[in-house]
A and B are shown apart, each in its own frame.
Chain A
Amino acid sequence: MLKFLAGSVAALAILAGGAVANAQTLKMWGPEQIAEPLVAELWNGIKADFEKANPGVTVEFMPPTGTISNGAVQAAIQSDAGPDVILTNSGIGRITIVRNAKQVMPLTEQYEKRGWKDQIYPWLYTELKGQFGGEIYEVPDGLDALGIWYHKDVFAAAGWEVPDTWKGFETLLAAIEAKGLQPIAIGPRTTGSAGHLFGNLLQSASGKETIGQALRKEIAWDDPKVATGAVRLQKLIEAGFIKKEMAGLDLDGASRLWFNKRAAMFVAGPWFTANARKAGYDLANAGYAPMPSDLPGEAIPTGGVGWSWLVPVNSKQPDLAMKWIDFMLSDAVMKKRAQAPASTMIYPRELKGIEPSTPVLREIFAAAAGGVGYNPSVYLPATVLDTYFQMIQGLISGQVTGAAGMQQMQAKMAEAK
């Protein structure tokens, strides 16, 4: 009897082992908003295609509890019950945190071996190559392009247009204010959101080249050439064009003002279509324009790598994770995503002949076609990020001046390695 029992247990174990060897699960951290019907439809389709191409494999989505900025990704990796492959908000500051904590694998070799190198914009590859002395830890999934969102109907009715000069912009803000609308809404409690507007202002005042130098520490942040954007923000606050009360809002609290048309403008990227859709905003009414600049050719969106794929060091399916990334970079998947109504970003390589289904995305793609400026939030070193975001909150709540804020930034930048 005992022998029989032992025998059957052993048999069961072998069976179970065999089953495990065949059936593999790939746990993917992401995508955000999977509970949204449109997002779910798109991703369940992608999942089904991948499972069909790889028999025995099951893809499991882990709804993200946050990003690297609030520690959620680190906690998930650390827990070991965590994901095998991760899709999350990236940028060098965030990647530095998980790289320094030795939580993610270097992927440099795969770029050569699997040809990823040729599947993203060349300038993007060069940029990634330059960040950690040649090592690359992420595969870009989507790029951001931040600019001004406005209501077409409100602007048409009042005869407003996003102007070409900063002076004109200030006049527009005053006109909107006189109509009893909030000129610009911002929710700096969501740190990224604080950086969206601020990055736009820096780009508009100083231009791409100068901001790039500041990020590479070739020019000081408190140099007037860089600090003008911060001083402009201070003036907008003082004039009441951006209300101090907004320092206590988060992204959703602020975007609610825009969706309800109590605010005329909002600085955001293509991902804002997802928020708008959830809030029931008619996307056909959304217009997009880069922040006006007095410098020739500098009225461009800001951005950088918005989302990336990461492979945790303790991924239980590293090979499968690489295959998944191959799959995500394939033409079929990328085109499918770009054409889906749930599409919310710019893809990491040029997709010829693809028309996004949401009209405002067409405007965004057109504005970004000539390249984008820097969104410092995704380029600043991790140790400086906190100071950067808090300084913007300080500016909006009227606690620091633009000049003083940039001095603090410079002090922190000088410390950073």
Chain B
Amino acid sequence: MSTHHREWPVVLGLAPVMLLILAPFAWLVVSSLKTEAEIGQADPYAWPADLMWRNYQDAWQIGGFGELVGNSLLNLAGVVLLSLLTCAPAGYALAKIRFPGREWLFYIFILGLTIPVQAIVIPLYQVLFGLNLVNTLSGIVLAQVSSGIPFGIFLMRSFFMSVPDELVEAAKIDGASHLQILTKVLLPISTPAIQALVIISALSTWNDFFLPLIVLISPEVQTLPLGLVRFASTYASEYRLVFSGTVISFLPIIILYILMQRRFTEGLTQGAIKG
């Protein structure tokens, strides 16, 4: 009762804060619908005389955003799938199988959790080059999966550790192999962990800039953030295109988020706290 009563003052207090925090979005969207001359007037409160939807059409075409979105999605799908395929079994082994060197291995993975990818970038580039993977989406996928592996393994391991040993033992007595235990017993009850892994690896891949900057050279393999930065510096003298291109680059994920926000929120908090 009493809490309900207090809600409106808080809402009123939060409204201007929200306005301030979301102002960049509003400004971008309004500017993206102006003509070049209107942008040149430098009045952020002015409304465009005609809504220039053409800006979006032009930016989409000139910037090749269709290709960029496609590359980003391929990149994301590859990383998410491969992360699940590698981290789930490894997490299982570290949580439920006793083998010599387990602790030792665990610490090796801790090392990777702390070292930022910027700190290993020169040799990483050389490795990718040696494997002929520079300027390919598969190269970037492998590098990103590897840098995400320590976190993924931690996440899966700590979730599997919370599963009672009895469940695993019972399956073993029934003659189940490790693979069967993993796929038939553990994974079906691991939705929260899988959800967390999917969302966290998807978001970090979607946002990655550093590795693509170094590895993806040709425009036809580039992902959205890199493509937008290139587009913005090449077409900087046409600000209507820079603004509409920028909106294009974040609109898909914002729509996706609003549709799935509950899963998103659960996955992120779960994952961050467990990992």
A interface residues with partner B (beta carbon < 8 Å): 32-33, 35, 62-63, 65-66, 72, 75-76, 78-82, 250-253, 255-256, 259-260, 275, 278-280
- Tell whether B62 is near chain A: CB-to-CB under 8 Å: yes
Residues of A within 8 A of B219 (CB): 63, 65
B interface residues with partner A (beta carbon < 8 Å): 36, 40, 62, 129, 132, 134-136, 214, 217-219, 230, 233-239
The chain A residue with its CB closest to the CB of B61 is: A35
Q: How far is the CA of A304 from the CA of B36 in the complex (A)?
A: 34
Q: Is the CB of A81 within 8 A of B237?
A: no
Chain A min CB distance to B166 (Å): 53
Residues of A within 8 A of B230 (CB): 65-66
Give 9 CB contacts A-B under 8 Å: A35-B234, A75-B217, A76-B217, A79-B135, A80-B135, A81-B218, A260-B40, A278-B238, A279-B237
Q: Is the CB of B132 within 8 A of A80?
A: yes
Q: Is the CB of B134 within 8 A of A81?
A: yes
Known: A79-B135, A80-B134, A278-B235. 18 other contacts (CB 8 A): A35-B234, A62-B218, A63-B219, A65-B219, A65-B230, A66-B230, A75-B214, A76-B218, A80-B129, A82-B135, A82-B217, A256-B239, A260-B40, A275-B237, A279-B36, A279-B237, A279-B238, A280-B36
Q: How far is the CA of A81 from the CA of B219 in the complex (A)?
A: 12
Residues of A within 8 A of B218 (CB): 62, 65, 76, 81
Chain B min CB distance to A252 (Å): 3
Q: Is the CB of B237 within 8 A of A255?
A: yes
Residues of A within 8 A of B134 (CB): 78-81
Q: Is the CB of A278 within 8 A of B237?
A: yes
Chain B min CB distance to A101 (Å): 13
Q: Which of A35, A250, A256 is B40 in contact with, Cβ under 8 Å?
A: A256
Chain A min CB distance to B126 (Å): 10
By CB atoms of chain A within 10 A, which of B36, B62, B214 has the most?
A: B36
The chain A residue with its CB closest to the CB of B221 is: A81
Residues of A within 8 A of B234 (CB): 32-33, 35
Q: How far is the CA of A72 from the CA of B226 in the complex (A)?
A: 13
The chain A residue with its CB closest to the CB of B238 is: A278
Residues of A within 8 A of B36 (CB): 279-280
Q: How far is the CA of A80 from the CA of B36 in the complex (A)?
A: 40
Residues of B within 8 A of A250 (CB): 233, 236
Residues A72 and B217 in contact in the complex (CB < 8 Å), given A256-B237, A279-B237? yes
Q: How far is the CA of A78 from the CA of B136 in the complex (A)?
A: 13
Q: How far is the CA of A278 from the CA of B234 in the complex (A)?
A: 11
Q: Is the CB of A65 within 8 A of B217?
A: yes
The chain A residue with its CB closest to the CB of B239 is: A256
By CB atoms of chain B within 10 A, which of A35, A72, A79 has the most?
A: A79
Residues of A within 8 A of B136 (CB): 81
Chain A min CB distance to B128 (Å): 9
Q: How far is the CA of A346 from the CA of B83 in the complex (A)?
A: 54
Residues A35 and B62 in contact in the complex (CB < 8 Å), given A76-B217, A81-B135? yes
Chain B min CB distance to A65 (Å): 6
Q: How far is the CA of A253 from the CA of B129 in the complex (A)?
A: 37
Q: How far is the CA of A279 from the CA of B242 in the complex (A)?
A: 13
Chain A min CB distance to B177 (Å): 37
Q: Is the CB of A79 within 8 A of B217?
A: yes
Chain B min CB distance to A393 (Å): 18
Chain B min CB distance to A411 (Å): 28
Q: How far is the CA of A80 from the CA of B129 in the complex (A)?
A: 9
Chain A min CB distance to B215 (Å): 8
Q: Is the CB of B236 within 8 A of A252?
A: yes
Q: How far is the CA of A63 from the CA of B36 in the complex (A)?
A: 25
Nearest first, the 8 A-B pairs at minimum CB distance are A252-B236, A79-B135, A79-B134, A81-B135, A279-B237, A260-B40, A278-B237, A79-B217
Residues of B within 8 A of A260 (CB): 40
Residues of B within 8 A of A32 (CB): 234
